[in-house]
Amino acid sequence: MGRWFAFVRWSASVIYHLLWWPRLEGRDHFPDGPYIICPNHRSWFDPPLVSVLTHWREIGFLAKAELHANPIISRLLWSWNACPIRRGAIDRTAIRQVMALLERGIPMLVFPEGTRSRTGKMLPPRPGVGLLARNAAVPVVPAYIFGSFRIGRAPFCWGRLRMRAGPPITVEEIQGFGDNKEGYRALSRHILERICDLGDDPARDRAAAFGDAAAAPR
């Protein structure tokens, strides 16, 4: 782990523990090798939170390409393993960069919803996460973040943050989905369903993401 990455994460950890007492449930679900962790996304505070709670590993991120427009900020983002991604379409350049980090053994944080929810409700999944998972040949760890939406609206309020990780989706299970657009969409949906199952109200989250017809557990 690079010293700069370790220093930035240590600094974030101090702030998070002073203000929000972050807690991780399900640490035993994280594989030893590379993996993709897929949580819900409701706040700017989610990416640092995931890094703080997975402190035993260096981790990579995806950051919207607009943030990389400034060369100084871009250099900082690259030093934190933050790959630029163009939103609104499948960005194959970003996928290749993610694959390169995974090949180095660095786990990757990917939000299946593609962007943070402005309402606190679950958003539909993007097919890009299915494409990435299908081709990466690494386990996918679903996770559910609690408390970040409220804190994101009032950053200096006191509160509790926690993340619940679930059993990983195995490579064998992932390979069962087709290597085509339909397969990527189905896999993206499956990943988000696994995330919903970790929340306190899976039916509500499924209904928000997929519509009322999908609210009933399968």
Tokens of 162: 């926690």
87 burial level (CB within 10 Å; 0-12, 13-18, 19+) = middle
Nearest to 161 by CA among 6, 28, 12: 12
Q: Which residues, other chains included, contact 30 with Cβ-Cβ below 8 Å and sequence gap of 6+?
A: 37, 54, 57, 107, 141, 165, 168
User: Residue 165 forms beta bridges with which residues?
Assistant: 143
Q: What does the DSSP 8-state code read for residue 167?
A: P
**CA–CA separation, 85 and 154 (whole Å):** 27
Report pLDDT digits (tens) over 173-196: 999 999 999 999 999 999 999 999
Our count of domains for the chain comes to 1
Nearest to 203 by CA among 214, 187, 190: 214
Domain with 65 in it: 3-214
User: Residue 141 forms beta bridges with which residues?
Assistant: 37
| pTM for the structure as a whole | 0.90
Q: Would the CA dihedral through 145, 134, 75, 105 be positive or negative?
A: positive
Q: One digit per residue, pLDDT tens: the chain, 218 residues?
A: 678 888 989 999 999 999 999 999 999 999 999 999 999 999 989 999 999 999 999 999 887 777 667 777 777 777 778 887 776 666 778 888 889 999 999 999 999 998 899 999 999 999 989 999 999 999 999 999 999 998 877 766 777 999 999 999 999 999 999 999 999 999 999 999 999 999 999 999 999 999 865 544 44
- Phi and psi angles of residue 163, each rounded to the nearest 5 degrees, phi first: -130, 130
Asked if 25 and 162 count as a contact pair (C-beta separation under 8 A), the reply is yes
Report pLDDT digits (tens) over 104-143: 999 999 999 988 999 999 999 999 899 999 999 999 999 9
Residues 69-85 as b or e (16 or more Cβ within 10 Å = b):
eeeeebeebeebbbbbb
Q: Residue 172 sits in a domain of what CATH number?
A: 3.40.1130.10
Nearest to 194 by CA among 206, 211, 177: 206
**CA–CA separation, 29 and 195 (whole Å):** 14
